[in-house]
Amino acid sequence: MILQNYYSIKFIEDHLSFLDQTKLPLSEVYVDTDDYERIAIAIEKLELRGAPLIGISAAFALALSFKNVSTNQLDHFNKVYNRLASTRPTAVNLFYSLDRMKKVFQAITDFSKTYQTLLDEAVAIYNFEEHCSNKMAEYGFNIFTKKFNVLTHCNTGSLATAGFGTAFAVIKKAFDEGYVNHVYVDETRPLLQGLRLTSYELEKNGIPFSVQTDSMAAVLMQQGKVDLVITGADRIALNGDSANKVGTYNLAVLCNYHNIPFYIAAPTTTIDRKIPTGADIEIEYRNSSEILSINGNQIADLKIKTFSPAFDVTPSHLIKGIITEEDIYFFPYNFIR
C-alpha cells in the first residue's frame, strides 16, 4: 500500500507550516508563518479548509499572535479573536476552537506565560481532532457488511482535519480491512475539492477510485454501481440537519430515491448545540468568479449573474446515520439534545 507522505498542518519551531490546498494536486507548496493574519487569509482563500482543520488553524493562529505581545493583552486577544471569527461563517468548528481558546485566556493569571498557555490549548485541540478521526474510523467501519462501492463528496481526509479525516478515515479503515472495492468521487464544483484533493489523498493511500462530475452521480446509482454514500459535515443542528459542501443535499435525495444508505461522518465538535434546525445555519456565499473561472482562468463572461452558496443543508430524515467519535447515531438524533 502507498503510505501518506504529506501533511496538512504542523507546528514547527514556533511557526505554523501548512500545505496550500489551492495549489493541489499539481504542486505541493508548504507555507511557514507565525503571522495570524496570514493564517486568517489562508482560511478565507481556502488554502486551509475543512471544518475541523479551520478550527485547528485558528487556534494556532490565535496562540501565535501572542509570541511577542506582553501589554494590552485583552485588547489584542479580542482583535485577533474577531478577525479569525470573521473568516468563514458556516463551519462551527471554528467557533468551537476559538471559544476554547477564549476560556483558557480568561483563566490566565500569569500573563508572561500567555503564549505557551494558548499554544498548549491549540495542541490539545489538534490532538482531540486526531482522536476523533481514529474513533470515527472504528465506529464507521461497522456500517460495512460486505465489500462496497462507496461514493463521496468534497474532501474529508487529512487535508480537512487531523488524523486521516472524517468520512475519508472511515473509507480508509474499511479499505484496509478489505471492505472497499472502489470509491467514486464527485468532482465537487465549483472549486473541485473532490477532483483536486480527494483524488490526491486516495492516490496517496493506494485506494482505487474514479472521478465523475456531480451531475453524474445519479447515473451511477441508476446503474447499481453505488452501495453506500458517506460525506462529512461543517455544521450539524440539534435535530440532525447537516450543512456540508453544496451538492451534498443532491446526493441525499438521490440516495433516498434509490434506497442507498447515506451517512455523514463528523466529530461532535461539528454539532452546534445552539441551533434547533438547519434553518438556523448561516450559509456562506462565495464570489461569482469561482463559478465563472477555473484556477484563475476565465471560462465565461464575468458579468453573468450567479448563485453560489458554498454549502447546502441536508434534512436529518434523509441521513441514515451520523458517525461521530462517540458512536453511530440514527434519526431522530436525540443524542444531540
Across 167-316, the runs of DSSP E, i.e. the strands, are 180-186, 209-212, 228-231, 235-236, 242-245, 262-265, 293-294, 297-298, 311-314
Fold of 9-134: Four Helix Bundle (Hemerythrin (Met), subunit A) (1.20.120)
pLDDT at 4: 65
pLDDT value of residue 270: 93
pLDDT at 70: 79
Q: What is 142-336's CATH topology?
A: Rossmann fold (3.40.50)
> How would you classify the pairing of strands 30-33 and 148-152?
unpaired
What is the pLDDT at residue 103?
Answer: 98
Adjacent-strand bridge partners of 294: 297
Whole-angstrom Cα distance, residue 30 to residue 17? Answer: 6
pLDDT value at position 335? 56
Rounded distance between C-alpha atoms, residue 267 and residue 144, angstroms:
19
Active-site positions read 234
142-336 shares the fold of 9-134: no
Domain ranges within the chain, ordered by starting residue: 9-134, 142-336
Rounded-to-integer distance, Cα 231 and Cα 167, Å? 5
Task: Find the helix packing angle between 92-106 and 51-64, rounded to 10°.
Answer: 30
Q: Which residue has the cell 455523514?
A: 264
E strand map for the chain: 9-12, 15-19, 30-33, 148-152, 180-186, 209-212, 228-231, 235-236, 242-245, 262-265, 293-294, 297-298, 311-314, 321-323, 328-329
**Stated length of the chain:** 337
d(CA 312, CA 84): 23
CA–CA gap between residue 158 and residue 199 (Å, rounded)? 12
- Per run of 10 residues, the mean pLDDT along the chain (length 337 residues) is 76 97 95 98 96 97 93 95 96 95 96 96 97 98 97 97 96 98 97 97 96 98 98 96 98 98 96 94 94 91 96 98 96 71
